[in-house]
Amino acid sequence: MVPVQYNLRSLFVRKVTTFATAFGIALVVFVFAAALMLGEGINRALATAGRPDNVIIMRKGSDAELASAIQNDYIGLFRGPSQVSQAAGVIGEIVIVITAERSDGSGVSNVLVRGTPPDGIAFRPEIKITSGRAPKPGTNEVIVGKAIAGRFKGIAMNDGFELRRNRPLQVVGEFSSDGSSYESEVWGDLDVIRRSLGREAVVSSVRARLNSPADFDAYRSLIENDKRFSMKVQREADYYEKQSQQTSGFLKGMGLAVAILFSLAAMLGAAITMNGAVAHRSREIGTLRALGFSRFSILTSFLFEAITLSVIGGIVGTVFVMLLSLVSFPVMNFQTFSEIVISFHATPAVFVKSLIFSGVMGLIGGLFPAIRASRVSPIEAMRA
């Protein structure tokens, strides 16, 4: 086999082409890893809001909470079955989308406001008050998710906005929820929100905590087959997954399409670079063949150079893509038509996939030039 030192020296001697190729691959890996991080961020924002032992109940025919309406009298009936946890119980909530002006003056967007009962925060242990305090029950106080705090006029700590004309709400705190879509909502008292909307007798949805995720089928059968009401029951995690399909599909598809186009360009660039190396190093290749190195040794040597170059570029790309963890941007949730904030989220799987991707690019881009190098005739090479 050709010594590894030979390949490393070759890459070092050809500084300009090595840098150019590694930079191009780093850019591609950056885009590819960014697309993966975006997908992780979308899943974190839209899918992790659901718990496996929680179910959400809505009126049949409703695809989202905004389109559902459930009478208050039904909430007690949903609490009755033995599958429901007596510790956490059942909560009914109402949601509405309002129009708010962005703080930077760039226009208006939609914000989701959730009316929740006094035990609504305790029902979700992932909710943490990060600034200020929780709203007092029965008042017009609200808390705002940290993802949208300050993004809209009036929706910030110690500020206020109107839910409806002459229906002011006062922001007294900010909260986090492990990066879920709840961080893009405003939460207030259920009864106050309902009175402001003139909908005191209904809630948009009901959530129930089951004793175990295994109780889901039995509980759904009881509720959906009850002739007193026409309801559908979903696992909370499944509900949020369906809510995220259109938005995540669009963003992931766009990111992967860009990554594929860039990767084709990078593989082409790697192939051109390695082909140029073969053309300029034919005498070296002939010497190696004359020294007794086999064609297979030459092939693996050039493949090693190409893969090493790609992995170096991949490492650089994955290091710089970590900076995107600091970036967040608003998108429209196509189901609720409200604005949610998505952040790029890095995981070990993202880096592993990115490095594998860079290695595959080097393998494909360097394969044909390596085959060409292995076929160089030592006699003709020495005459060149």
Q: DSSP secondary-structure letter at 135?
A: P
Domain that holds residue 317: 4-47+244-383
What residues contact residue 22 under an 8 Å CB cut-off, 6+ apart?
Answer: 309, 310, 312, 313, 316
* Average pLDDT over every residue of 53-74: 91
Residue 169 shares a structural domain with residue 26? no
Q: What ranges make up the beta strands (E) of the chain?
A: 54-59, 70-71, 90-101, 108-116, 128-132, 141-145, 160-164, 167-176, 185-189, 202-203, 205-209, 231-235, 328-332, 339-343
Output the pTM of the full model.
0.72
Looking only at the bridges linking them, the beta strands covering 54-59 and 205-209 are: antiparallel
Q: Tell me what pLDDT residue 180 has.
A: 82
- Tell me, yes or no, whether 56 lies in a domain: no
Residue 82 shares a structural domain with residue 41? no
- Tell me, yes or no, whether 279 lies in a domain: yes
Residue 84 shares a structural domain with residue 184? yes
| β-bridge mates for residue 93, sequence order | 205
- Tell me, yes or no, whether 55 lies in a domain: no
**Packing angle of the helix pair 282-290, 295-321 (nearest 10 deg):** 130
- The region of weakest confidence among 44-58, 164-178, 277-291, 354-368 is 277-291
Q: Tell me what pLDDT residue 117 has.
A: 94
Confidence band, pLDDT 50/70/90 cuts, at residue 56:
very high
The one-letter amino acid code at 320 reads F
Residue 224 shares a structural domain with residue 253? no
Contact between 163 and 98 (Cβ < 8 Å): yes
Q: Mapping DSSP to helix (H, G, I), strand (E, B) and coil, where does residue 331 land?
A: strand
Last residue of a domain, one of 169, 196, 229: 229
What residues contact residue 167 under an 8 Å CB cut-off, 6+ apart?
Answer: 140, 196
Residue 304 shares a structural domain with residue 169? no
CA distance 95 to 111: 10
Between 256 and 313, whose confidence is greater? 313
Q: Tell me what pLDDT residue 384 has.
A: 52
85: enclosing H helix or E strand:
none
Q: Is the pLDDT confidence value at 81 over 70?
A: yes
Sign of the four-CA dihedral 346, 350, 355, 358: negative
The structural domain count of the chain equals 2
What residues contact residue 257 under an 8 Å CB cut-off, 6+ apart?
Answer: none
Last residue of a domain, one of 229, 255, 275: 229
- Tell me, yes or no, whether 93 lies in a domain: yes
Q: Is the pLDDT confidence value at 266 over 90?
A: no
Q: Tell me what pLDDT residue 329 has.
A: 74
- Tell me, yes or no, whether 308 lies in a domain: yes
Residue 193 shares a structural domain with residue 95? yes
Q: What is the pLDDT of residues 272-317, one digit of tens each?
A: 766 666 666 666 667 776 777 777 887 787 788 778 888 888 899 8
Q: What is the pLDDT of residues 127-153, one digit of tens each?
A: 999 999 999 999 999 999 998 998 899
CA distance 188 to 217: 32
- Tell me, yes or no, whether 26 lies in a domain: yes
Q: Tell me what pLDDT residue 55 has.
A: 95
- Tell me, yes or no, whether 53 lies in a domain: no
Residue 130 shares a structural domain with residue 19? no
Q: Mapping DSSP to helix (H, G, I), strand (E, B) and coil, where does residue 208 land?
A: strand
Residue 295's CB is within 10 A of a number of other CB atoms, namely 13
Q: Mapping DSSP to helix (H, G, I), strand (E, B) and coil, where does residue 151 land?
A: coil
Contact between 70 and 203 (Cβ < 8 Å): yes
Residue 248 shares a structural domain with residue 379? yes
